[in-house]
Structure 1
Amino acid sequence: MKFGKVDHPELIDFTIPPDHQETPVVLKKNKTGADTKVFVGCAKWNRQELKNFYPRGTKDELAYYSTQFNSIELNATFYRIFPAEQYEKWRDKTPEGFKFFPKMTNEVSHLRRMNDKALEAADRYLEVTSLLGDKLGTIFLQMHNNFGPKNWDRVVRFVEYWPKEFPLAMEFRHTDWFTDEKVAQELYHLLEENNIANILVDTAGRRDLMHMRLTKNEAFVRYVGANHKSDYTRLDDWIARLSTWKSIGLENIHFFVHQNLELESPLLSAYFIEQLNAKMGCDLHIPKTTLPPEKGLFD
């Protein structure tokens, strides 16, 4: 993932900002008393860069990946709507309890920009994506960088149109969604009222996106490492924040690790899971890598 990439990550202040004042309110209001469900994964499974992850001779990368992780952020569905049988194959070759968190087709977000045709594209997308069955996690929609608040009416129409039986998370990347307080509050409340998660993005070059405002009882985090030793301390900070939210009432953690160069993603994920297990009492499988999870390639 190139989004938010910088040449000198050592110069970036990666401090996670304080919670938005409404985040504890949302968590307390929406807690049910259920155990916290945690899904951690990478962004993709079939990248050549993941050399430190797959054993030599691995023929089916998804089948192996799903023995090590309990979820995947499925970015491939952003670029095309696959034939129905492809979703069925993905569903059938992964174990019980595994979840896909697929990205909405760019026809909705980038090409049609949430116009009338975008609603038709969303219907076509859901028709096949729903074939993932009980392995379908939260679908997420990432808007274009230049999709700003002037498109507010389109956002409202899409959110109200979206079938509520499919969990949805949304990621807005235009600065004005967050710097204009009135706009931000309207957006947050729209998402909250419609039970849609507000995606949290942690990347080096776009610290303006670190709003820390949850809109439902779900922390959907897209973490972009910088291939720098600070990636590990940043993950420590996230573990501390998620632990705090869990103590308040957070019941759903969906955390996906990206890298500017993906070769380090399995190592970062393994480190994150190991520390999460220790801090929060989780029992997630720690993915096997060819290097110990605490030993990154840039140490």
Structure 2
Amino acid sequence: MAKIFVGTSGFSYDDWKDNFYPTHLPNSDYLSFYSQEFNVVELNFSYYRIPELSQCRRMLEKSGHRVEFVIKAFKGLTHEITNQSIPEVLPQFKESITPFSQTNTLGAVLLQFPQRFHYTPTSRVYLQSLIKALSPMPVCVEFRQREWLKDSVYTTLKELNAGFVCVDEPPLRGLLPPLVVATSDIGYIRFHGRNRSKWYTGDAK
């Protein structure tokens, strides 16, 4: 029977104090508390900077091995691509998250590509090369460009055993429609929210 994982994107937010986290709970204990309520967490900071090994080890300890970690790929791998060559930073990124991969707590590496990542021969080669280079780590891919919504793409992801990320978001021009697609043994849904009036203001909930 498939196991269902439920969690949030990030776990340390000021407005969660008093709403989710107890008033007097130290920030350093947020993950310990979180891991008693959820069984997976997406880490966002890894997009902005490659994690330190010691940082990942502390998080693993704080979680008590009760949650799986989805690591958003460093921006140098998804948003700062100059050609189809794999960036030199990849080995450093892979090494940084070994505390999770070596303890079976790595849910997936999330490759979240921007809208400007178009369905081109160069991009297709890059995507396949990156997924292969991350192997045997589990990988899930989130596209933000409709051009990628093709049966041929789903087939390629299946062949590479990479998950397709389904999204729930407002029906706005340029955003992806709701789809139910599974290309690996990981079925992944990200609930972005449907607040269309504030979607592009940074205030969407």
Where do 4+ consecutive residues of structure 1 move more than 4 Å? none
Q: 2:110 corresponds to which residue?
A: 140
Q: TM-score, normalised by structure 2?
A: 0.84
Q: 1:4 corresponds to which residue?
A: none
* Contact 1:173–1:209 (Cα < 8 Å) also in 2: no
Rg larger in 1 or in 2?
A: 1
* Contact 1:108–1:114 (Cα < 8 Å) also in 2: no
CA distance in 2, matches of 1:162, 1:44: 22
Q: 1:155 corresponds to which residue?
A: 127
Residue segments in structure 2 that go unaligned for 5+ positions in a row: 197-202
Q: 1:81 corresponds to which residue?
A: 50
Q: Deviations over 1:267-298 (max 9, x none)?
A: xxxxxxxxxxxxxxxxxxxxxxxxxxxxxxxx
2:98 is the alignment partner of 1:130: yes
- Aligned with residue 10 of structure 2, among 44, 61, 76: 44
CA distance in 2, matches of 1:209, 1:113: 28
CA distance in 2, matches of 1:201, 1:114: 27
CA distance in 2, matches of 1:54, 1:139: 27
2:112 is the alignment partner of 1:168: no
CA distance in 1, matches of 2:131, 2:86: 15
* Contact 1:201–1:223 (Cα < 8 Å) also in 2: yes
Q: Deviations over 1:68-117 (max 9, x none)?
A: 21111111111110211000000111123311111111110001367424
Q: 1:211 corresponds to which residue?
A: 179
- Given the superposition, is the C-alpha separation of residues 69 and 152 from structure 1 closer, same or farther in structure 2, using an over 3 Å criterion? same
Question: Higher relative CO (CA 8 A, sep ≥ 6), structure 1 or 2?
Answer: 1
Q: Percent identity?
A: 25
Q: TM-score, normalised by structure 1?
A: 0.59
* Contact 2:84–2:125 (Cα < 8 Å) also in 1: no
* Structure with greater helix share of residues: 1
- Given the superposition, is the C-alpha separation of residues 215 and 87 from structure 1 closer, same or farther in structure 2, using an over 3 Å criterion? same
- Aligned with residue 57 of structure 1, among 10, 19, 24: 24
Q: 1:101 corresponds to which residue?
A: 70
* Contact 2:86–2:126 (Cα < 8 Å) also in 1: no
CA distance in 1, matches of 2:82, 2:33: 36
